[in-house]
Amino acid sequence: QEQLVQSGAEVKKPGASVKVSCKASGFIITGYYMHWVRQAPGQGPEWMGWINPNSGGTKYAQKFQGRVTMTRDTSINTVYMELSSLTSDDTAVYFCAREKGLMSAVTTGAFDYWGQGTLVTVSS
Partner 1 sequence: DIQMTQSPSSLSASVGDRVTITCRASQNIGTYLHWYQQKPGKAPKLLIYSASSLQSGVPSRFSGSVSGTDFTLTISSLQPEDFATYYCQQSSNTPGTFGQGTKVEIK
Binding region for partner 1 (CB under 8 A): 43-47, 59, 61-63, 95, 97, 100, 108-112, 114-117
CB 21 within 8 A of CB 115: no
As measured in angstroms, the least distance from the Cβ of 37 to partner 1 is 8
If the CB atoms of residues 2 and 74 are measured against partner 1, the closer one turns out to be 2
What DSSP string runs through 99-124? Answer: ESS-TTS---S-EEEE---EEEEE--
Q: Which residues, in sequence order, are bridge partners of residue 58?
A: 51
As measured in angstroms, the least distance from the Cβ of 94 to partner 1 is 11
As measured in angstroms, the least distance from the Cβ of 100 to partner 1 is 6
If the CB atoms of residues 15 and 35 are measured against partner 1, the closer one turns out to be 35
